[in-house]
Amino acid sequence: LSDIWNSGRKNVTAGVPAEKVLSRMALKPDFSIADGNGKDIKFVHRTLGNGEILWVTNLSKDTRDITASFRTTGKKPVIWHAEDASIEPVSYVFTDSRTNVRMNLTQHQSVFVIFTDDTDVAKAELPQNTSETMAEISAPWSVRFQQGRGAPESATFEKLTSLSESSEAGIKYFSGAVTYSNTFKLKKKDIRSKDSVILDLGEVKDLAEVTVNGKNLGVIWNAPFKVDITKALRNGTNTIEVKVINMWHNRLVGDVQPGVNEKITYTQMEFFKPDEPLLPAGLLGPVKVIGTTINK
C-alpha cells in the first residue's frame, strides 16, 4: 500500500475531493444540472444493453425547474412515471456529447429518465401548455366525519384550515376519513375550449379520494394533489367530494389529554405526551379548477 501512495502517479491522490480529482482527469460528470440549480437533486444510473436508465429524485419540499445534463447522446430521452405507468415526452438538446433535458420535479418527486431509442434529431422543443383558473371552489364546505372517532357526524367549514386548528376537541384531534363536499359551475363552451380540465386540491394532509358528479376519479397520495376531471364534468353545476384521510398522530395525542376517560385508540404504551405538537390534517386547499390548452 505504501508503494502506491508514494509512487508519484498522477492518478493517486490524497486529501482532495473526488470531484476535483475527476475534473483534473478531464472526466465529465455522469449527471449534472446545467443551470446550476442542482441542490437536493440526486440520481442513480444503470447502463442497459440498448441504452441508459437514470432514476432522478428531488429531495426538497419545493418544485424544481431544472435542465438536467446526462453523459449520453444520440438517443431520445423520455420520462417514465412509476406511480401511474405513464410515459412523458420531453424537450431536449444534444450538446458536447451530452443530452440536456428540461425537467419539472415537484416536491419529493422521483422519475425515471430513459434513453433507448436511437435518433438523428439533435434538438426537440415541445410546445408549452397554457393554464388558467376556471373556478376557485370557496367556502362553505359541508364536511362529514368517519363515525366512532370522536368527531361530530358533520360540520360546515367557512374556510379550509387544518382540522388540528379547530376549537372543538373531536375535530382538533381527529384521525380517520373526513369527506368534504361542495359545488362549482362551468359552462359547456368553456369546458370544450380546453384540452383538459384539472382539479387542483392545493395542500392535502395526507391523501385524498376525489369524486366529481358521482364519478370516482381515484386516490391521490402524493403532491401535487391534482387530478384530470375533464370526462366527469357537465354543463352548469358540478358536485365534488374529496375524502381525506390523515395519520393517527393527532388522535393518539388527543387520547392522552387530561380528563379523557374513553380513548378512541388502543395501544400498549403511550407514544406521545399531552403537549405533543399536532400535525396539519385534512383538506387545506386552495381548491381550484384549472383549464389547460396545448399550444400547437
- Same domain flag for 117 and 154: no
Q: Return the pLDDT at 26.
A: 67
CA-to-CA distance for 106 and 222, rounded, in angstroms? 10
Whether residue 163 is contained in a domain is answered as: yes
Q: What is the pLDDT of residue 254?
A: 96
Rg over alpha carbons for the chain, rounded to the nearest Å, is 26
pLDDT at 4 over 80: no
Domain end (from 80, 108, 126): 126
Is residue 37 one of the residues assigned to a domain?
A: yes
What's residue 245's pLDDT?
98
C-alpha cell at 102: 428540461
Are 222 and 290 members of one domain?
yes
Q: Specify the 3-state DSSP secondary structure of 170.
A: helix
Of residues 213, 214, 211, 276, the one with CA closest to residue 244: 211
Is 280 domain-assigned?
A: yes
Domain assignment present for residue 178? The answer is: yes
Over residues 243-251, the mean pLDDT reads: 97
Pair (121, 234) in one structural domain: no
Is 10 contained in some domain? no
Q: Looking at residue 237, which CATH number applies to its domain?
A: 2.60.120.260
Residues 91 and 105 both lie in one domain: yes
**pLDDT at residue 115, as a whole number:** 97
Q: What is the pTM of this model?
A: 0.83
214 and 160, same domain (yes or no): yes
The number of distinct structural domains making up the chain is 2
Range of the domain at 63: 16-126
In whole angstroms, give the CA distance from residue 191 to residue 238: 12
The answer, yes or no, to whether residue 1 has pLDDT greater than 70, is no
Give yes or no: residues 102 and 143 share one domain: no
In a domain, 139, yes or no: yes
Domain match, 162 and 77 both: no
Same domain, 215 and 245: yes
pLDDT per residue as tens digits for the range 31-87: 999 776 677 999 999 999 999 999 999 999 888 899 999 999 999 999 999 988 999
Owner of C-alpha cell 493517486: 12
Q: How far is CA 181 from CA 63, 105, 176, in A?
A: 29, 30, 17
Query: Domain boundary residue among 126, 151, 183?
Result: 126
